[in-house]
Chain A
Amino acid sequence: MDYFDIFIGILGSAVRLSIPLLFTALAGLFSERAGIFDIGLEGKMLVSAFASACAAYWTGNAWLGLAAGILVAIAFSFIHGFASITNRGNQIVSGVALNFVAAGLTIVLGQAWFGQGGRTAQVPGSGRFAPIILPGTDAIRDVPILGPLYANVISGNNILTYIAFLMVPISWWVLYRTRFGLRLRAVGENPGAVDTAGISVSWLRYRALIVTGFLAGFAGTYLAIAQSAAFINNMSAGKGYIALAALIFAKWKPVPVMLACLLFGFLDAFANFMQGKSLPLIGEVPVQIFQALPYILTCVLLAGFIGIARPPKAGGVPYTKER
């Protein structure tokens, strides 16, 4: 294998690894731009992975799996909303609590239903999202550079991957070109302005959380029945937090979110590739360094080295009318 093939291989794996991040970061984008911090993205991803694996196993239909994943993630969003919007609880506490609930509940239910130590049963082929070979792959396979790139990076992904990238312009359009988006961005900056304009702050934030649940549902589904064929204990493995880091890294904007997720996905793929290999002069580099890079980059950014990341001003603050 020459270096180019290796590079293409890493790139393809980077795209696959960045998809759950992308869905989740876009999910977080909607709730955080509406002023609701959502540290519970991790938990939403996990429960939706579990739900989609179960539904896909029982029905043998991947789309029903997706629907189940989305519904459960939205349900979790509602709990977060009930605690932090309706009852004005602390958003971080509510999110962390939901993460714990997700981690515990999936194992307990998984054990009760499948008896495989928290795993779900293997989902049959029809219940999974299979890779799609785009037309023309064979025709241009032998074209230098473009051919392998098309065959291994652009083609050969499952439908959710393409949906993820489609969600980027759609999110941008919703946020910046629709009434809902204008109001959503406003409520994350100054809910008082929204309230005095005669718009319900609570309902607007609930709707933002529904979108969050919807997108997080895709992320979990991708993990369970597109990337793998079953739910495994704690299969989100901190991706929700990395997505949150990507969101901050991208300064809460849709297109930079995509780029940040691709970067973090690439780091992840590179870390996998480097496992057990040694670099000239340096020797074997611990994989953990690459795994820590997204967090380190985000810290560097937050410390203000790469411009100022200005979060939505009303983020994390429950809205109460004066007095």
Chain B
Amino acid sequence: MSLDLPKEIEPAIELVGIDKKFGAVHANKNINLTVAKGSIHGVIGENGAGKSTLMSILYGFYHADQGEIRISGKPIVIRDSQAAIAAGIGMVHQHFMLVENFTVLENVMLGAEGGQLLRKGVASARKELKRLEDDYGLEVDPDAVVEELPVGSQQRVEILKALYRGAEILILDEPTGVLTPAEADHLFKVLRVLRDQGKTIILITHKLREIMAITDTVSVMRRGEMVATRKTSETTVEELAELMVGRRVLLHVEKGDANPGRVLLSVRNLTVRDARGVTMVDDVSFDVRAGEIVGIAGVAGNGQSELLEAIAGIRKPYSGEIFIDGKPVAGIDPAGLRDLGLAHIPEDRHHMGLVLKFEEYENSILGYHRDQRYGRGVMLDLDAMRKDAEEKIAKYDIRPPNPRLKTANFSGGNQQKIVVAREIERDPNVLIIGQPTRGVDIGAIEFIHKRIIDMRDAGKAVLLVSVELDEIRSLSDRILVMFAGKVVGEKTGDAGEQTLGLMMAGIAA
């Protein structure tokens, strides 16, 4: 479904009939895609729609079962990453492919050292980096050690790596996931400069707003198929969302006014240190009332995770107090907190929320397995567990509806629903949630958001931590911004994105 391009614009990349199967999974079905030279082309789709597979084929990580790739009109075979690099394709991966204890220079040179000995290559790489910095505004200190750089700069290193190898086509996979709004803006500026100088950019994302903000054309993938290609100026967020999901979706959460009651969760002067003794949460105090959602905004790594873990009883606070419904609870273990009416949807479902090798029904009661309903004494009542799981599956539309299926075989969205169902169905008074929709598709996001609002409307206290600013803004009644372990400010739920963005960067309070 390629776009009709004006004759004078030559295509940089053409994918013709690309097909790829992983066992029974048909990841890419007969994909056709044409990207014009000197343009920014977005590829959008839900998790598992096949975007990453397609780009991995283009970068030589996988081989297509069928189909042809043409670069500047010429058919080529991309056998491995080396071939992709030689064809002028560069990739900026979602998880940076950087050696963290190497300098910027060493990272850029890796694989393109220019000879058996490093000495000569170092000098020319240094010169080339300076040139790229001047040409594209990609400033970064070549002698800085990568792990000491902020995430935005690390990403620039990835872009520099690609350009250093002479990339004409740059693929960026979910590039803004780890960036502050300001860093994302800076990235977009760089991408525009690159495009204006004739580079072709493919941007893979699930964020509709980014597509609208920066791309010239956009293709939508759904379940392995390329379902549409549009000029960005001629489409809308609503249309793209519908194409992605295959049905109409509500992008904006509908919620009434909050009706806050008494304080159910209270945090006073909480300080949390990590294993190295570094203060991660620094003298934080706030309240969450019944019937309100308090959102904690911030760039990942500013103490939100540690705050959540301290409240959930996983991490021991260094000092300060936590009260649930007026009762001091600091130091009580997670099981004790559950009995006091606290439920926790952890940030990372794979490591903290689920045991992926367990069957669905086992995960669906995990942490509540001592409950009388699921067994007696040391014996578990498997029938009761399965019946309970089936009820949750029906209520939360978990697919496939099979409590005996291994949890690893569910999609990200359905795995998250298993956790959400488990925690919400206990009818807790205080619900604390980390990254409720990370790696979850739009349909499931809508569903999970609705459940969170329902909890609020039922008079529960909800504390929400998310690095997705949109999510915080659309769900929260009040927003606290964390930066470097401190709460640097509080705003109402309708605060502007820019205000929050500045606070997240620690610039304004």
Contacts and interface: CB of A to CB of B under 8 A. Distances in A.
B99 A179 contact: no
A61 interface: no
A195 B93 CA distance: 12
Contact of B113 (A179, A192, A193, A196): A179
Contacts of B93: 192, 196
A189 B113 contact: no
Contacts of B110: 182-183, 186, 193-194, 197, 199
Interface string A158-200: 0000000000000000000111111101100110111111110
B487 interface: no
Nearest to B109: A182
Contact of A313 (B59, B100, B112): B100
Given A182-B118, A321-B61, A197 B112 contact: yes
Contacts of B119: 177
Nearest to A193: B97
Nearest to A180: B116
B116 A179 contact: yes
Contact of A193 (B59, B80, B107, B118): B107
Nearest to B61: A321
A181 B106 CA distance: 11
Contacts of A179: 113, 115-118, 121
B100 A189 contact: yes
B111 A197 contact: yes
B439 to A, nearest CB: 14
A212 B302 CA distance: 42
B293 interface: no
A253 to B, nearest CB: 12
B99 to A, nearest CB: 5
Contacts of A192: 93, 95, 97
Interface residues of B, number: 33
Contacts of A313: 100-101
B211 interface: no
Contact of A177 (B85, B100, B118): B118
Nearest to B53: A323
Contacts of B129: none
Interface in A188-225: 189-190, 192-199
A189 B118 contact: no
B316 to A, nearest CB: 19
Interface string B49-63: 000000000011100
Nearest to B112: A197
B99 A186 contact: yes
A199 B107 CA distance: 13
A183 B61 CA distance: 19
Residue among B60, B83, B111 with most chain A CB within 10 A: B111
Given A182-B109, A198-B82, A193 B99 contact: yes
B91 interface: yes
B103 to A, nearest CB: 11
Contacts of B97: 190, 192-193, 195-197
Contacts of A197: 81, 85, 97, 110-112, 161
B91 A196 contact: yes
Nearest to A323: B22
B98 interface: yes
Given A198-B82, A321-B61, A185 B99 contact: yes
A199 B101 contact: no
A186 B112 CA distance: 13
B396 interface: no
A297 B262 CA distance: 57
Nearest to A179: B113
Contact of A196 (B22, B81, B101, B116): B81
Nearest to A196: B97
A195 B121 CA distance: 20
Nearest to B117: A178
B188 interface: no
B125 to A, nearest CB: 12
A124 B74 CA distance: 69
Contacts of A194: 110-111
Contacts of B107: 193
A192 B97 CA distance: 6
Contacts of B99: 185-186, 189-190, 193
Contacts of A178: 116-118
A46 B52 CA distance: 48
Interface string B279-298: 00000000000000000000
Nearest to B22: A323
12 contacts: A177-B117, A177-B118, A179-B113, A179-B118, A182-B110, A183-B110, A183-B111, A193-B99, A197-B112, A198-B80, A198-B82, A199-B82
* For the complex of A and B, 7 pairs with smallest distance between CB atoms: A197-B111, A198-B82, A198-B81, A193-B97, A179-B113, A196-B97, A186-B99
